[in-house]
A and B are shown apart, each in its own frame.
Chain A
């Protein structure tokens, strides 16, 4: 680095591509823990998709959906998604506690608070995406296989596929969205850790 005349303070960067890579690596290395976090989203979205797949089937049969049943199911789905969110939040808070040294070190290397938030949110979003896709497929298959077992093959084939398709995508987005939101508080907590955290020998 040149000294003297050209010495003036500049800006630090974290290209998005690199942030993605770091977050993905973090998941790979702590795979077991990551899968448990993703399982939360997986189950919540699986439930959501079972409800929507049932509706798709009913629409295919031109059956009128039962209002009361729909209301109760909506309530259950919302609760289950909230439970997923709480689980994700808890998991991410634990991750912050465990990684205080890593975060402090990154700050010593020049990371600003925003980088830390970004890394945590991306990681949670990735897990949410993976969990939601798996959960969506599982939820879909549960309803479909159930129908087939009841010998209602034609109902499955005749379901409202347009409805199914768009709501499946919506379910994935909801899964990612909840994961990112649930990680918001832990991420801001992580971002507040001081660089000197890298020097501490205990939490």
Chain B
């Protein structure tokens, strides 16, 4: 494990070098990722975009520590992920990365507060600390009055808010969001994106999002376009050329039913 420098903490929270992932299906080798180099700065809001089968999900899994590459390296906080054993990887997922899913993935048997404090349990926080931080987080996402509700008693948007609070439970360096707005209606989706952007600015947490949602592009610092296992292009927000027709139509005429 590389030791971090004293003078500054790494500018790049995630770096990949020659990242390659090959799946063998029925005797055929599928190059899901081909020699990908990507540097993500601390505090950035990055969207990874691409069609199905482009390798977007695979890249997402790699930078989030959810899967191991066939070749190449992933550095999170300058730590080579391949050098970590299972327990250390679990620690990274607990403390360094917070995950947000398309299907919210809250534990159904637990209340909102319990869902949020579960990662804190794994991190070894005391019960008092858990309750204090948990309450504060739920209030920050606007659910201070729903501490003891189960996911079944919450709307989709509320569940995703709980999920965001949970992702922030251990003050992570990275939030990894997989299609966070795909199961939400247009207005709720915008609220969630807005909340993510606020968290990004307030806490300096790097947000990496895999998404189809064009509204996400509006607030991203950079957009990484993936196609056929390679990075097609990386655009700074100012450069992004979103098809005016499609986005403006929704703004003026409402979302399609």
Contacts and interface: CB of A to CB of B under 8 A. Distances in A.
Contact of B92 (A3, A9, A111, A194): A9
Given A1-B95, A194-B66, A194-B67, A13 B124 contact: yes
A199 B103 CA distance: 8
Contacts of B99: 105, 108-109, 198
Contact of A7 (B57, B77, B87): B77
A105 B119 CA distance: 11
A12 interface: yes
Interface string A1-38: 10111011111111100100010011011000000000
B122 A12 contact: yes
Contacts of A8: 1
Interface stretch (B169-177, B187-195, B224-232): B169-177
Interface residues on chain A, size class: 35 or more
A105 B122 contact: no
A195 interface: yes
A169 interface: no
A15 B1 CA distance: 29
Contact of A110 (B8, B57, B101, B119): B119
Interface residues of B, number: 43
A7 to B, nearest CB: 6
Interface string B193-226: 0000000000000000000000000000000000
A155 interface: no
Interface in B92-109: 92-96, 99, 101-103, 105, 107-109
Contact of A112 (B87, B110, B124, B170): B87
B247 interface: no
A18 B121 contact: yes
Contacts, number: 109
B4 interface: yes
Nearest to B61: A196
Contact of B66 (A5, A15, A108): A108
B186 to A, nearest CB: 21
B4 A4 contact: yes
Nearest to B204: A3
Nearest to A113: B86
B91 A110 contact: yes
Task: Indicate the member of A7, A102, A106, A107 with the most B CB atoms within 10 Å.
Answer: A7
Contact of A1 (B1, B6, B108, B170): B170
Contact of A199 (B66, B124, B166): B66
Contacts of B66: 108, 194-196, 199
Contact of A14 (B77, B79, B122): B122
B242 interface: no
Nearest to A195: B66
Nearest to B60: A199
B79 A110 contact: no
B173 A1 contact: yes
A25 B109 contact: yes
A5 to B, nearest CB: 6
A63 interface: no
Contacts of A18: 121
A166 interface: no
B154 interface: no
Contacts of B107: 102, 105-106
Interface string A189-203: 000001110110100
Given A29-B109, A198-B99, A4 B122 contact: no
6 contacts: A7-B77, A9-B91, A11-B124, A105-B107, A110-B122, A198-B101
Instruction: Rank and list the top 10 A-B pairs by shortest CB-CB distance, nearest first.
Output: A110-B94, A110-B122, A4-B9, A25-B109, A29-B109, A105-B105, A1-B171, A108-B99, A109-B119, A3-B9
Interface of B: 1, 4, 6, 8-9, 57, 61, 66-67, 77, 79, 84, 86-88, 90-96, 99, 101-103, 105, 107-110, 118-119, 121-124, 166, 170-173, 178
Interface of A: 1, 3-5, 7-15, 18, 22, 25-26, 28-29, 101-102, 104-113, 115, 194-196, 198-199, 201
